[in-house]
Amino acid sequence: RVTVVGSFNVDHVWTAAALPRPGETLAGRYHSGPGGKGFNQAVASARAGASTSFVCALGADSGGQLARALAVADGIDLRDQPSDAPTGTAGIFVGSDGANSIVIGPGANAAMTPSFVDAQRAAMAESAVVLVQLESPVASITRALQLAGEAGATRMLNPAPANVEVPTELLALADLLTPNETEFAALLRRHGGDEVDAASLAALNDELLHTHCRRLLPHGTVVVTLGAAGCFVSHAPQDLRGDGLQHYRVAGEAAQAIDTTGAGDAFNGALAAALARDAQRPFAQQVKFANRYAAMSTENAGAAAAMPRLADVIGRFGG
Ligand code: ADP
């Protein structure tokens, strides 16, 4: 089982010829759909074949009802803390060139309490992997990783979004850290004392990347996702998961990408599911599956809605 502790948002998306300037009113196309990093990752985990629990906070409104209906549709064991605040929302403007501006209303997500997470102890105890992100209160996700540690589960921290600071105590609780390039640069700035340029990270040599990863998470595994280029993996010296290798790249898979929103969420959910389903497989193969899964997610529009199913991934790439 995988337990994801995190956010649910209703995404409201307007696509117009350009982004609106201050004071300007534009007409454009509108659609809405489910999102939130936590929910996206839970849907990816469930569709990638793992029994999945999702711990979140929801308002008593149509957004909360949507979350419940979608969880049922994907067979997700939903454990929601009822909140007086509205369900989380994101207002997203997209210009014709694909650039976007986003405002998030965390709403109920910001109200998830450590004691509610405590009450989900039973789900954690049954889980091989507990996966958290930073769209929920840091105290609550810290509690989740503490409980996961007590239960012997793999503690997976996706340090997203990049503008939320990761306290040292939280970092210390992670067995597996999965930043994208921007998040990796932000973590190094705060915890590694190094100034690196996110845009040129993928071009750094592997030894240097490995050194950065080791400084950031001396005891655990770091997987830096590199967009279409796939990812870089760095293991601790004592970690046997690397099959003798301490660091390596796993190339991305070719995709006809039309919407890369949620690619990182697809990757995280799929990696958690792969680890929970077959912990004995070499780590590089688990990451390869996550790359395949995430590549396919970019070929569909939307966030949670874009997540492919295991059968489709196997049909495309083999088992
Ligand atoms: P984020 O979505 O958080 O910015 P990345 O852009 O690093 O994260 O993407 C996460 C993963 O999604 C990558 O490691 C890769 O497996 C996959 N991916 C992203 N963009 C593409 C693409 N254009 N083609 C193929 N795979 C992609």
Domain around 41: 2-7+36-86+110-317
Mean pLDDT value of segment 295-310: 93
Residue from 160, 162, 286 nearest 221 by CA: 286
Q: Is residue 242 a part of any domain in this protein?
A: yes
Q: 252 in ligand 1 pocket by Cβ < 6 Å?
A: yes
| Average pLDDT for the chain | 95
**Is the omega angle on the peptide bond into residue 161 within 30 degrees of 0, that is, cis?**
yes
- Distance separating alpha carbons of residues 245 and 234, to the nearest angstrom: 9
Give the H/E segment covering residue 30: strand 29-35
For residue range 16-30, what is the model confidence (pLDDT) as tens digits? 999 999 999 999 999
- 226 annotated ligand binder: yes
Q: Is residue 176 a part of any domain in this protein?
A: yes
Q: Where are the alpha helices (DSSP H) in the chain?
A: 37-47, 62-73, 114-118, 121-125, 138-151, 168-172, 181-187, 206-216, 263-277, 283-297, 310-317
- 228 annotated ligand binder: yes
Residue with the smallest CA separation from ligand 1 atom 9 is: 227
Q: Is residue 101 a part of any domain in this protein?
A: no
Residue with the smallest CA separation from ligand 1 atom 26 is: 295
Quote ipTM for the complex. 0.99
| Residue 81 contacts residue 116 (beta carbons within 8 Å) | yes
For residue range 92-151, what is the model confidence (pLDDT) as tens digits? 999 888 788 999 999 999 999 999 999 999 989 999 999 999 999 999 999 999 999 999
Residue 113 sits at the vertex; the CA angle it makes with 85 and 54, to the nearest 5 degrees, is 85
Q: Is residue 190 a part of any domain in this protein?
A: yes
Q: Is residue 136 a part of any domain in this protein?
A: yes
Confidence band (pLDDT; 50, 70, 90) for 55? Answer: very high
Number of domain units in the chain: 1
Q: 267 in ligand 1 pocket by Cβ < 6 Å?
A: yes
Q: How far is the CA of 26 from the centre of ligand 1 (A)?
A: 31
Q: Is residue 231 a part of any domain in this protein?
A: yes
Q: How far is the CA of 111 from the centre of ligand 1 (A)?
A: 30
Q: How far is the CA of 113 from the centre of ligand 1 (A)?
A: 31
Residue with the smallest CA separation from ligand 1 atom 1 is: 264
Q: What CATH number is given to the structural domain containing 173?
A: 3.40.1190.20
pLDDT for the residue numbered 201: 83
pTM of the model: 0.97
Atom of ligand 1 nearest to the CA of 160: 3
Residue to mutate (ligand 1; options 41, 265, 267, 296; most atoms within 8 A of CB) = 267
Q: Is residue 238 a part of any domain in this protein?
A: yes
Residue to mutate (ligand 1; options 134, 187, 260; most atoms within 8 A of CB) = 260
Catalytic residues: 265
- 315 annotated ligand binder: no
- Distance separating alpha carbons of residues 111 and 300, to the nearest angstrom: 32
Residue 89 has pLDDT above 80, yes or no: yes
Mention every residue, 6+ apart, whose C-beta is less than 8 A from residue 31: 13
Q: Amino acid identity of 192? A: G
Which of 97-106, 157-166, 267-276, 283-292 is predicted with the least confidence, judged by mean pLDDT? Answer: 97-106
Q: Is residue 68 a part of any domain in this protein?
A: yes
For residue range 183-242, what is the model confidence (pLDDT) as tens digits? 999 999 999 878 888 888 888 899 999 999 999 999 999 999 999 999 999 999 888 777
pLDDT for the residue numbered 18: 93
